[in-house]
């Protein structure tokens, strides 16, 4: 489960369709564009993102850090650990 502040950050990046860099707890990195929040088929809270090849759902609890890749007045990076 993530905190309200973390969920607010997710909503901000989706509202502005920011390009973001997600670093996962596994160490994998994904550069993508934030689109929306959504639940997957298992009912897990996700962020819907667009990559070069497709749209996909990323489970929020799998994220270690989220970094906005453009200048903005909100934040640069947020940690989910």
pLDDT one-digit tens code per residue, 26-78: 999 999 999 999 999 999 999 999 999 999 999 999 999 999 999 999 999 99
**pLDDT at position 19:** 99
Is 57:48 a contact under the CB 8 Å cutoff?
Answer: yes
**pLDDT at position 1:** 81
- Model-level pTM? 0.94
List pLDDT tens digits, range 42-52: 999 999 999 99
Q: Where are the domains of the chain?
A: 4-79
φ, ψ dihedrals at 76, nearest 5° = -100, -50
Residue in the structure block whose two tokens are 């970094």: 67
User: What are 79's strand-pairing partners?
Assistant: 65
Please determine, looking at this structure, whether the domain spanning 4-79 carries the CATH number 2.30.30.100.
yes
């Amino acid at each position: 489960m993530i905190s309200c502040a973390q969920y607010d950050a997710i909503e901000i990046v989706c509202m502005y369709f920011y390009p973001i860099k997600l670093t996962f707890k596994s160490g994998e990195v994904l550069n993508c564009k934030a689109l929306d929040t959504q639940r997957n088929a298992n009912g897990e809270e996700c962020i819907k993102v667009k990559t070069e090849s497709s749209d996909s759902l990323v489970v929020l609890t799998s994220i270690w850090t989220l970094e906005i890749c453009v200048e903005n007045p909100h934040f640069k990076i947020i940690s989910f650990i």
